Amino acid sequence: MDAIKNITERNSARELIEPHPSKDEMQIVFKAALRAPDHAWLRPSKFIQVSGDKRKKLSDIFLKTARELNDELTELQIEKYHNAPFRAPMIIILTSSPKEHPKVPAIEQIISTGCAGQNILLSLNALGYGAIWRTGTFAFNKQISKNLGLEDGSEVIGYIYTGTMTGSNKKIPNLNIDEYVNVW
Ligand X SMILES: Cc1cc2nc3c(=O)[nH]c(=O)nc-3n(C[C@H](O)[C@H](O)[C@H](O)COP(=O)(O)O)c2cc1C
135 belongs to the binding site for ligand X (CB under 6 A): yes
Q: Of the two residues 8 and 182, which places its CB atom closer to ligand X in the complex? A: 8
Please tell me whether residue 94 binds ligand X under the rule CB under 6 A. no
Residue 93's beta-bridge partner residues? 48, 159
Q: Which of 50, 90, 120, 132 binds ligand X (CB under 6 A)?
A: 132
CB of 24 to ligand X, least distance (A): 26
Does 158 interact with ligand X (rule: CB under 6 A)? yes
Q: Is 12 in the site for ligand X (CB under 6 A)?
A: yes
DSSP state of 139: S
Task: Tell me which residue of 125, 129, 155 sits closest to 140, measured CA to CA.
Answer: 155
Could you tell me if residue 68 is left (phi over 0), alpha (psi between -120 and 50 degrees) or otherwise beta? alpha
* Min separation Cβ 123 and ligand X, Å: 15
Q: Binding to ligand X by residue 59, rule CB under 6 A?
A: no
Q: How far apart are CA 112 and CA 94, in angstroms?
A: 11
